[in-house]
Amino acid sequence: MRLKTLCLLLIVMGSFACSQSNAPAPAAHDSRSHDFFSFANTDQFVAEHLQLELTIDFDTEQLYGSATLVMRRLDPAATEIILDSRDLMIQGASFESASGELATAEFRFGKSHDVLGTPVLITVPPDFGSAAQLSLKIDYRTSPTATALQWLPPELTTGGKHPLLFSQSQAIHARSWVPLQDTPAVRITYDASIQTPPELMAVMSANNDPDTARDGSYEFEMPQPIPPYLLALSVGNYYFAPIGEQTGVYAEPELLDAAAFEFADTQAMLDTAEAMFGPYAWERYDLLILPPSFPYGGMENPRLSFLTPSLLAGDRSLVSVVAHELAHSWSGNLVTNATWRDGWLNEGWTSYLELRLMEVLYSKERAAEENVLGYRELLLDFEQVAPDFQALAPRFETGDPDDFQGTIHYHKGNLFLQYLENAFGRDRFDEFIAAYFDEHAFGTITSEAFLDYLDDKLLSAYPGKVSRTQAEQWLYEPGLPDAAVIPASATLDEAAELAALFSQGEIDIADIPAADWSPQALVHFINSLDADLAGDKLKELDATLGLSDTRNAEIGRTWFIQVAKRQYRPAYAKLEEHLNRFGRGRLVQPVYQALVENGADADLARNMFERARRLYHPVTITSIQRVLQPGTPD
Ligand code: BES
Ligand code: ZN
């Protein structure tokens, strides 16, 4: 039997730890495979299917209805189901057996935890004996403060006339809108029935129908099993525009044409990805353009990536985020990190695949430029992240999985895979990629299981290239191994050189061929300016290159970080506009941080934040508050 078939069978049988072929999965008590961020007793009961019936109430900012979990009992003696929840109001619970027997369920809340929420403990009635399959229905309401949900009043949408709701479940926020086993080690299929105000449209990480009647009643089905962090819902004044055969975009009507233009390459990306990584398992791939408060660049909700509107630069220069979210259809959604401590298996793999796509779809040079920018971010992260969290697979048992290692798992993970590609050659590595996804499809994997698989397929199969100890160094040691292949780009090198010459007064502004550069080269140029560059030079740059007025959010981010670092006050008004235009954490948090750290503007940063915070998502607010806290050097 092929492993993939075995994995599917194990999932059907209720086992969730389908890791890999030649080594047994670590035992549940092994702290490296234990999920410290869920209360669920998945060794006793495991959810297989979820049925949601929810009404969206914009007046009270609540969802209400029911969630029914179809669960398999793995331990015949187990009598209590523990689910994750956060701020949920549960009205009642009941069981239904496979034969249709109904019984009221006793439930109670356990002790709440700041980050993890509150466990819900449900007693299985004795008449259910040791039934292997149970269906548990929970009637509940969410709270207006649900951490996964952002409720936007009409004025915070593009159209300004309708309210809008979106969810963001990764990493551990699904529990704030659905009571469930909120661990990536579990996979569920789902169906949903969603009631909305009649003029709005609901979309989910499921089988969206572009031609559905806009009548306020929407049905969804997700037949492929997904981890709970990929549950997603958005409701708004959405319309659809097709891009390709399997691809299209949902957005408010005001943004639809711009989005269809910006992401016109999505079908080609999907075709390229299938050719390189193996069959696309999810049928359609659509994009959803959210309002500016969406806290991330993108979120890989299956069949429907959620995107920030800040990608609409007008020149397709920021589409690597789409390549990234699409690549998650393999790394993450198809083969899933077992716990958040193994996050590099999602994000590092995806960053690597993203660059492989960029290379084929655009050019080697474009991929190289983005690779260098990622490497630069990694170096900055090494300065900010404690050594223990610089390992790709650190010990990670407390804290917040939304932010524990900056973006180290992205860029260091990418460099690990580039190092392997380089050592074994692209052809062999490409075979490895396709086999890895095929053999682990619809399963979860730990860093240790990955290492064993890598050892089996490459390290031991082609000895003398990379030792197991060398691979372990990437997983368990801080910093970068000496053998890492350092990314380089000729165009970026040139931009950095010109930045140095300009900083030293050796060339004039007219000698900088910025008009010929990619936005990535301009970003690198700005980052390479001397730390003590004089104000008049900044003024010249701004006036000539239009930096404060750029339409490109990445250029704006880079520029305003420098403006804040160098206390270049003439651009502060534009800086504040930038902080009010975007709510993507990456675009605003480092600007606040640079203000706080410049030695003069911590109070100003706090004031700007107070003025802007109603535009931000709770995740962004938390990340900004972390840098604004009094006591941060100022
Ligand atoms: N899955 C992430 C977003 C995420 C990470 C949500 C951690 C919650 C917790 C998504 O795929 C992502 O990586 N987004 C990046 C895109 C970029 C690296 C191309 C982002 O938002 O910046
Ligand atoms: Zn990602």
CB 237 within 8 A of CB 162: yes
**% the chain with pLDDT above 70:** 95
Q: What is the average per-residue pLDDT within 142-165?
A: 98
* Structure letter (DSSP) for residue 15: -
CA–CA separation, 408 and 114 (whole Å): 25
The predicted model gives 569-591 an average pLDDT of 98
Dump pLDDT digits (tens) for 166-190. 999 999 999 999 999 999 999 999 9
Helix (H) or strand (E) holding 326: helix 320-327
Can you tell me the mean pLDDT for 494-514? 97
Give yes or no for a contact between 482 and 61, defined as CB atoms under 8 angstroms apart. Answer: no
How is residue 137 annotated by DSSP? E
28 — pLDDT class (breaks 50, 70, 90): very low
Binned at pLDDT 50, 70 and 90, residue 25 comes out as very low
Q: Six-digit token pair at 229?
A: 């962090």
Pocket test for ligand 1, best of 347, 349, 354, 404 (most atoms within 8 A of CB): 347
Model pLDDT, residue 20: 33
For the stretch 592-627, pLDDT in tens is 999 999 999 999 999 999 999 999 999 999 999 999
Atom of ligand 1 nearest to the CA of 584: 21
The answer to whether the pTM exceeds 0.75 is yes
Identify the pLDDT of residue 30: 65
Asked if residue 396 has pLDDT above 80, the reply is yes
| CA separation for the pair 389, 392 (Å, rounded) | 8
Q: How far is CA 231 from the centre of its chain?
A: 12
The answer to whether the beta carbons of residues 459 and 468 sit under 8 Å apart is yes
Residues labelled catalytic: 325, 410
| Residue the block writes with tokens 């809108």 | 177
Name the phi and psi angles at 410, rounded to 5.
-70, -60
Q: Which domains does the chain have, with CATH numbers?
A: 2-143+173-223 (2.60.40.1730), 339-347+362-476 (1.10.390.10), 490-628 (1.25.40.320)
Distance 325 CA to ligand 1 centre (A): 8
Atom 15 of ligand 1 has which residue's CA nearest to it? 297
Report which bound ligand comes closest to the CA of 373. 1
β 106-109/120-123 pair status: antiparallel
pLDDT single digits (tens) 240-262: 999 999 999 999 999 999 999 99
Ligand 2 mean position, distance from CA 52 (Å): 26
> Is 59 a residue whose pLDDT tops 60?
yes
pLDDT digits (tens, 9 = 90+) for 85-140: 999 999 999 998 777 878 999 999 999 999 999 999 999 988 787 779 999 999 99
Average pLDDT over residues 428-447: 98
DSSP, collapsed to helix, strand or coil, labels residue 424 as: helix
Q: Is residue 376 over pLDDT 50?
A: yes
Task: Look at residue 314 and tell me whether its pLDDT is greater than 60.
Answer: yes
State residue 633's pLDDT score. 41
From the list 552, 578, 562, the residue with the least C-alpha distance to 321 is 552
Residue 349 has pLDDT above 70, yes or no: yes
Residue range 540-558, pLDDT digits in tens: 999 999 999 999 999 999 9
Beta-strand (E) ranges in 483-631? none
What type of residue sits at position 348?
A: G
Predicted pLDDT of residue 631:
55
User: Best of 182, 293, 299 to mutate for ligand 1, by most ligand atoms within 8 A of CB?
Assistant: 299
Smallest Cα–Cα separation from 542: which of 519, 513, 497, 574?
574
Of 450, 438, 401, 347, whose CA–CA distance to 183 is shortest? 401
Task: Give the per-residue pLDDT at 404.
Answer: 86
Q: Which of 473, 443, 474 is nearest to 21 (CA)?
A: 443
**What DSSP string runs through 286-313?**
EEEEPPTT-SSSEE--TTEEEE-GGG--
How close is the Cα of 410 to the center of ligand 1, in Å?
Answer: 9
Q: Would you state the pLDDT for residue 33? A: 86
